[in-house]
Chain A
Amino acid sequence: ELKVEQNPLFLSMQEGKNYTIYCNYSTTSDRLYWYRQDPGKSLESLFVLLSNGAVKQEGRLMASLDTKARLSTLHITAAVHDLSATYFCAVDEAAGNKLTFGGGTRVLVKP
Chain B
Amino acid sequence: DADVTQTPRNRITKTGKRIMLECSQTKGHDRMYWYRQDPGLGLRLIYYSFDVKDINKGEISDGYSVSRQAQAKFSLSLESAIPNQTALYFCATSDFSGVGNEQFFGPGTRLTVL
Instruction: Report which A residues bind B (CB closer than 8 A).
Output: 4, 31, 33, 35, 41-45, 48, 50, 88, 90, 92, 95, 97-104
Contacts and interface: CB of A to CB of B under 8 A. Distances in A.
Contacts of A92: 101
Interface string B36-60: 0000111111001010000000110
Contact of B101 (A31, A41, A43): A31
Interface of A is mostly: strand
Interface residues of B, number: 24
B42 A50 contact: no
A43 B105 contact: yes
B100 A88 contact: no
Contacts of B31: 97
Given A97-B31, A97-B94, A45 B44 contact: no
B43 A101 contact: yes
